[in-house]
Structure 1
Amino acid sequence: MKRDLLASGIIGLATGAGIYAGASALSARIPLLLQGTIVTAITLVILLSLALLEIPMMLFGLRQMARSHSTPRRLIVGTFGFYVAFAAVYASAFVLLTGQIALGLVIAAVCLARLVSGIWIE
């Protein structure tokens, strides 16, 4: 199961990188909705908090799914892949709203933390 989760997590990481790269390229072509240092900082804190606070909740759910004998393995592995990739959605929203690609990488880095968190799924 660990090998399947790792493979799914790597696919999720690659998917997240693609989503973030697309949003970064698109951010140069659309007008920025949020400007200003304080607004950017508040947006960063909110989206980063969402990405981080989701980790324990999802780990709890994935562990419960893994312990249940009636849950198909494909469902657990697929959910883990989406879980890893979804931090890039928050990062992409931040980049599209503010145009700050470098700060968006801080949120996108949560994808790596989510991939590593897969070791607690039994």
Structure 2
Amino acid sequence: MEWGDEWLAADKLQHVLACLLIALAAAALAGRSALPSIRRRAALLGWAASLAAGAAKEVADEAGFFGSSGASPKDAAADLLGAALAALSLALVRRLRRPRRDGGKARDAEDRDVISMI
């Protein structure tokens, strides 16, 4: 296991971006599923796919498949950050797409308490 790597190294940005993109792509694919249960859990499935890919990369690093000096807890933290950013992005998009309960007619507190005589 590698402990001496830097927090702000270029590979950390690569880990964040890779996990972010994997999560978004997997969520997009799950969102197009014919099964409603998969579509409802698209963000969760994207998040899980991203973390699985990050964990697999760290296992491969530790096994020496990529010629690195081993797995890094800092790389794993960068993977978690990328997955979290994707989850946040998906939650924001979902909230923005949600239809308004009042049919798109915004009313302030004063309008709700007034009875129209017309």
Q: Same fold (TM over 0.5)?
A: no
Using CA pairs below 8 Å that are at least 6 residues apart, which structure has the higher relative contact order? Answer: 1
TM-score (norm 2): 0.43
